Amino acid sequence: MIIFIYGTTAEAIKIAPIARRLDEQGIPYQQWLTLQHTTALLKALPSLGLPAPDRLIANGNRGEPLRSSSDVLRWLWQITKWIRTNVGPLRKSLPSNTVIVVHGDTLTTVVGAYIARRLKVECAHIEAGLRSGNWRHPFPEELDRRVVGRLATIHYTPSLEATSNLGSRKNVVHTHGNTVLDAVLDHKEQAGEDPDPFGVVLLHRFELISNLQLLEETISTLAAQSPVPLKLMVDAYSEQALQEAVAKFGAGKLTPQSKLEHEDFVNLIKSAQFVVTDSGGIQAETALIGVPTLIHRKTTEQAEGIGSNIVLSEWKMGKLASFLIDFKSYRRPINRPEHSPSDVIVGDLVARGFAAH
């Protein structure tokens, strides 16, 4: 049996291509959700072709998204109670060929790997082996990766560098890329209208949003240096801080708007002049598409696109300003991969005997 444990919209986007391929082969699977993202995640499932969850491990912070450390603690307490109640019965009922599949570097990734350990079943980690080399950046994601790297028993690595980071660990499978590549390429090409030139900005990481000075400097630089209007994507976690910064430093240049469903967002960035983001997932997408992109982070654990169409800012406003002036030089053609990471993962799960038809 294959069980996906995840809790965020980004995880759902990257798991969906694997689930679609399982559906095509008639292979059943289950989804156990922690709802780190609550309404946004549940709303995204149908658009990604994912069914309703089989189990809810937790429901965010009393049905609301996690916005603070105290919210996280209450959410973790829900999970602790769920584990105490359910681990015993599940050990008896789950088949011996069960694998719990987790993705990436969220708190739910750690939770899922820990649940697999408690249930005494295999744990497969998608996007394994990524390391920034600095536990402070990004925080807490780098710590999450290191913990899951020890708990997981099967490691699906997106790059040769990620593979080498896992050293002599057993069951390391190179997937030739991130499953987000399939998430983009599975979408039908849409010939959209020629819009007025615009840039896309998506900033949401805790380490940036919680640093008020850095956030305000970033918004101010974007407003002062961007030659085109900017669409600022906001969500429930970053909305207040971003709205306040825009009101003070970016009014007239940055227009906040709600996050889009994944297919609509992919079409948006295909049409954009450039993208400024602190998202690792979007880094993989824009590296594929070839749109000029600045990753606004201190460090990045991924090499995709760096030195080609992608620039790492290191949180330096000078680098951000230079990119905004010279973004056209970073445009590249679409970089279609030879392999489908999702096909590699599904093939390996089947070969290991987890796929009961």
pLDDT in tens, 327-343: 999 999 988 888 999 99
Structure tokens at 293: 């992109």
Give the pLDDT score at 191. Answer: 46
Instruction: Assess whether 153 and 88 both reside in one domain.
Output: yes
> What is the DSSP secondary structure assignment for residue 7, as one 8-state letter?
-
Picking from 196, 206, 198, 209, the residue whose alpha carbon sits closest to that of residue 246 is 209
Dist CA 247 CA 129 (whole Å): 40
Compute the half-sphere exposure of residue 270: CA atoms within 13 Å on the CB side of its CA. Answer: 19
Across the beta sheet with 199-202, the strand order is 254-258, 230-234, 199-202, 275-277, 293-295, 310-312
- Does residue 89 sit in helix, strand or coil? helix
What interhelical angle do 262-271 and 39-47 show, nearest 10? 80
Instruction: Assess whether 245 and 131 both reside in one domain.
Output: no
Picking from 101, 87, 81, the residue whose alpha carbon sits closest to that of residue 19 is 101
Instruction: Assess whether 344 and 317 both reside in one domain.
Output: no
Instruction: Assess whether 165 and 30 both reside in one domain.
Output: yes
Dist CA 42 CA 47 (whole Å): 10
> pLDDT at residue 135 above 50?
yes
Residue 59 domain-assigned (yes or no): yes
Q: Residues 223-233: what's their mean pLDDT?
A: 95
Give the pLDDT score at 189. Answer: 59
Buried (b) or exposed (e) across 53-88, using 16+ Cβ within 10 A? Answer: beeebbebbeeebbeeeebeeebeebbeebbeebee
- Enclosing H/E stretch for 209: helix 206-209
Question: For 290, phi and psi rounded to 5 degrees?
Answer: 90, 10
Q: Is the pTM of this model over 0.85?
A: no
Dist CA 110 CA 100 (whole Å): 12
Given a contact cutoff of 8 angstroms between Cβ atoms, the answer to whether 6 and 15 are in contact is yes
Residue 190 domain-assigned (yes or no): no
Residue 14: CB atoms within 10 Å: 27
Residue 193 domain-assigned (yes or no): no
* pLDDT above 70 coverage of the chain, percent: 97
Residue 205 domain-assigned (yes or no): yes
Q: Residues 34-52: what's their mean pLDDT?
A: 90
Residue 12 domain-assigned (yes or no): yes
Instruction: Assess whether 236 and 258 both reside in one domain.
Output: yes
- Does residue 75 sit in helix, strand or coil? helix
Structure tokens at 265: 């967002």
Q: Residues 239-250: what's their mean pLDDT?
A: 88
> pLDDT at residue 299 above 70?
yes
Residue 51 domain-assigned (yes or no): yes
pLDDT, the chain, mean? 91
Q: Which residue has the higher pLDDT, 187 or 6?
A: 6
Question: For 209, phi and psi rounded to 5 degrees?
Answer: -65, -30
Dist CA 197 CA 129 (whole Å): 38
- Does residue 9 sit in helix, strand or coil? helix
Instruction: Assess whether 156 and 281 both reside in one domain.
Output: no
Structure tokens at 35: 């709802």
Give the pLDDT score at 336. Answer: 82
Instruction: Assess whether 160 and 135 both reside in one domain.
Output: yes
Instruction: Assess whether 106 and 248 both reside in one domain.
Output: no
Instruction: Assess whether 119 and 57 both reside in one domain.
Output: yes
Q: How many domains does the chain have?
A: 2
Across the beta sheet with 99-103, the strand order is 55-56, 29-33, 2-6, 99-103, 122-126, 154-157, 172-174
Give the pLDDT score at 337. Answer: 83
Residue 192 domain-assigned (yes or no): no
Instruction: Assess whether 29 and 152 both reside in one domain.
Output: yes
In tens, the pLDDT along 172-218 reads 999 998 998 899 888 765 544 456 899 999 998 888 988 999 999 99
Domain with 248 in it: 199-330
Instruction: Assess whether 211 and 289 both reside in one domain.
Output: yes
Give the pLDDT score at 190. Answer: 53
Residue 207 domain-assigned (yes or no): yes
Dist CA 355 CA 349 (whole Å): 7
Dist CA 73 CA 61 (whole Å): 9
Instruction: Assess whether 9 and 151 both reside in one domain.
Output: yes
In tens, the pLDDT along 144-180 reads 999 999 999 999 999 999 999 998 899 999 999 899 8
The domain that contains 271 carries what CATH number?
Answer: 3.40.50.2000
